[in-house]
Amino acid sequence: MSLIEGMASAVETPRRLARVAMLGNPNTGKTSLFNSLTGLRQRVGNYPGITVEKKTGVMQLGKGEAELIDLPGTYSLAAASPDERVVVDVLTGHVSGTERPEALVCVVDATNLQRNLFLVSQVAELGIPMVLALNLWDSACKQGLNINVELLSERLGVPVVPTIGRTGEGLPQLRAAIVEALEKSARMRRIEWPESAAQAEAKLRSAIPESVRSQLKELELQRLLFDADSAIIERVGWNHEEAREVIEAARKPLWDAGVNPLAAEALFQYAHLKEVLDGVVLSPEEALPRGSESIDGILIHRFWGLLVFVGMMFVVFQAVYAGAGPLMDLVDAAKGWTQDLVGPWFDSMPMLQSLVTDGVIEGVGAFVIFLPQILILFLFIALLEDTGYMARAAFLMDKLFHWCGLNGKSFVPFLSSYACAVPGIMATRTIEDPKARLTTILLAPLMSCSARLPVYVLLIGAFVEPQLGPFWAGVTLFAMHFVGLFVAVILAFVFTRFLIKTKPQPFVLELPAYHAPRMENVLFRMYEAGKEFVQRAGTVILAITIIIWALLYFPRPADLEAQETRAFAAEHAQTAGVSEEEALAALESDEELAAALQARIDGAYVDQSLLGRMGKGLQPIFAPAGFDWKITVGVLASFPAREVIVSTLGIIYSLGGDVDEESGSLRDAMRKETWDDGARAGSTVFNLPVVFAIMVFFALCSQCGSTLAVTAKESNWKWAAFTFVYMTGLAWIGAVLVYQVGMQFL
């Protein structure tokens, strides 16, 4: 019985799956291939003790199934970054909870075989059964490359399968090849090392202390010999001084042969691969990606490229703003309909009715209304990534970042942070220089993440568009997304010169060929972002919403309603010139007066609630930025997660009687809000300087618990505290400046 059939017939518990690992260089379409092989049956976690993402999935193999591990993309096994170290550790079986794979799927870019096979040839030293996936096969065909697959398979000794990850072509053959590799233990032919390398390796093996040698695999011996500073020394607990002496002595045969040991592996491997590929790739002179090159003449041009980049971002944000309107109206209508439907169920329980309608439905609804914007934003992000444009954007930014002490490598974490700072900060692990990495970690939260989008859209839709028109509304949304990047560039200049002194490192980036985006990938990205957003609405946002409702609802003094009714009747008696008894009687009969009284009572309850009192107590801190106590409460409630301000304002205005079926949406209620007292008494709270001050505050402030926790994990709590203090301070200064300067022009 074969291994796969064995797996298929295995009894349910415990089900033993074959372990297959997928590895390859970055930008080889590995992730597309992984997604196509596993579908939605994926699990994302982390490798123990480190913050490198571990992505696994289950794939169908013949009659059975196998676990597929997607290893981080790497160019070689010289483990310089945490990602690369993980690849070596998984392949050698040194990761707790992750057994050594039984087979490998090596994904290579068919348009650049020789360079991609360098990693594969290194991995061949492990002797693990292997399949070679010639991915991006369509690009290779377009470039006129003619690859003799059979000959390549024969020379390497392993199955070779052409694949197109984006469309799923070649997947059945790939699955069959994995089964074949597992059953026949198809191992790739190893390089025949020249005498000098073989001698050096033998010398090293004999000189290493037994306690260390017993922990090392053949491949790791080579890594010690060929790499400048291997992380393996630390893992096996070998004394650094002793290790350096032993390794240097073992390298002598290489020096004697006139070869620098640190360049030896590349020299020998490329010579070997040249022989392997001789006659396999025909018409190599056709290999140039002509289409991509001519487009890149414009897209990575120092002037035109930047112009196209800015123009493209402008179009994206205009589309995000304008395109979501009708869908937002639909969600808003659904929210109102739900409130109307559910409210009467609790007519005999006013407290519970308030919790459900003013708290849960209003709070969560005010948040969910921004789902269309999130979906449209991620549609564009996925399109730009899938076409290969994002790599060009990183290349363009390199010059700017070089000026401020970083390099284009920091752009990728910054770009990820536009979706969410958490994966953005994790993406910094590809930066080898620890100081440049720390600087990037500290600045990534300044990028305008998708949680800021609801805040911007609410304020722009309520105040900027009605006053300045739809064009300037789009411009404002576009500009708000660059405020953080602008401040980050200035701060990077300051940090890298005075705080975390570092110099820019050289930046090497592979520009992938352009592809037509694959709709499945784009939709999957939108689905993931939408799911995440709705999941958040149903969990954290819901919990915070309920707590904020309680803080705004309690206490409920028994005599407050009577007091307010008497005060209202007295005021009405004075203005109408009637007796108080007549005014009280009018409240019973006049619906308009009764509604005004109810709004006053609701407002009075919110005013003296726990959160109301807290907001009024702390409002003086934000008074220089023009914030009233309600905005102050929104700001304070948003420190765990910034998007909570939308729900909080929804509840404040709903409980205060400002948002109902008569008065319309939260936007209308905010437009009508006026100052009760002070220098601006009677004037509207939300004028343009206040609106821009709030947006700048949210653009710069550290209001995300998850981001701070990840910052601490990737650096330490001292730097997380520093991030919180500098961002919050900067946000307050920015908001005050915008408001004070803006008021000069009103």
Partner 1 sequence: MSALQWIEVAVVALIVGGAVSYLVAYVRDVIRFGSSSSGPGCGGGGGCPSCGPDKDGNSN
Which residues of this chain interact with partner 1, rule CB under 8 A? Answer: 43-52, 96-97, 348-349, 351-352, 355, 420, 422-423, 426, 532, 535-536, 539-540, 542-544, 546-547, 550, 640, 705-706, 709-710, 712-713
Contacts of 271 (CB under 8 A, 6+ apart): none
Gap between the Cα atoms of 734 and 139, Å rounded:
48
Minimum CB separation of residue 532 from partner 1 in Å reads 6
Three-state secondary structure call for residue 684: strand
Q: Is the dihedral of CA 315, 318, 320, 324 positive or negative?
A: negative
Tell me whether residue 86 or residue 699 sits nearer to partner 1 (CB atom): 86
Return left, alpha or beta for 566; rule: phi > 0 is left, psi -120 to 50 is alpha, else beta: alpha
| Among 17, 20, 95, 12, residue whose Cα is nearest residue 52 | 95
| Shortest spacing between CB 122 and partner 1, in angstroms | 26
Comparing C-alpha atoms, which of 358, 423, 389, 385 is closest to residue 651?
Answer: 358
DSSP 98: B
Nearer to partner 1, 97 or 237 (CB): 97
Cβ proximity to partner 1, 49 vs 326, nearer residue: 49
Query: What is the CB-side half-sphere exposure of residue 210 using CA atoms within 13 A?
Result: 0
Minimum CB separation from partner 1 for residue 709, in Å?
5
Vertex 676 angle, CA 670 and 678, to 5°: 120
Q: Which residues of 343-362 are buried (b: 16+ CB within 10 A; e: fewer)?
A: beeeeeeeeebbbbbbbbbb
DSSP for 118-160, written as a single string: HHHHHHGGG---EEEEEESHHHHHHTT-EE-HHHHHHHHTS-E
Instruction: For partner 1, give the closer residue by CB, 67 or 109.
Output: 67
* Shortest distance (Å) from residue 636 CB to partner 1: 15
List of residues 6+ apart from 274 with CB closer than 8 A:
114
Instruction: Show the tokens assigned to 522.
Output: 């784009």
Q: What angle do CA 703, 708, 713 make, to 5 degrees?
A: 170
DSSP 1: -
Shortest CB 347 distance to partner 1, Å: 11
Nearer to partner 1, 47 or 627 (CB): 47
Instruction: Please state whether beta strands 18-24 and 64-70 pair in parallel, antiparallel, or not at all (unpaired).
Output: parallel
- The answer to whether the Cα torsion of 382, 384, 389, 395 is positive or negative is negative
Q: Cβ 338 to partner 1, closest distance in Å?
A: 17
Asked whether 541 and 641 are in contact (CB, 8 A), the reply is: yes
The tokens of 306 are what? 């930047």
Strands (E), 63-115: 64-70, 103-109
Residue 528's Cβ-side half-sphere holds a number of Cα atoms within 13 Å equal to 16
d(CA 292, CA 513): 6
- Taking the complex as a whole, the smallest distance from the CB of residue 96 to partner 1 amounts, in Å, to 6
Among the listed residues 419, 95, 127, 533, the one whose alpha carbon sits nearest the alpha carbon of residue 72: 95
Token readout for 89 is: 């550790």
The nearest distance, CB 653 to partner 1, in angstroms, is 21
**Number of other CB atoms surrounding residue 684 within 10 Å:** 14
Cβ neighbour number for residue 74 with a 10 Å cutoff: 23
Q: What is the DSSP string of 499-562?
A: IS---PPP-----PPP-PPPHHHHHHHHHHHHHHHHHHIIIIIHHHHHHHHHHHH----TTHHH
> Distance between CA 133 and CA 571 in Å, rounded?
82
CA distances from 641 to 25, 415, 454, 628 (A): 36, 20, 12, 20
The least CB distance from residue 238 to partner 1, in Å, is 22
- Smallest distance, partner 1 to C-beta of residue 570, A: 31
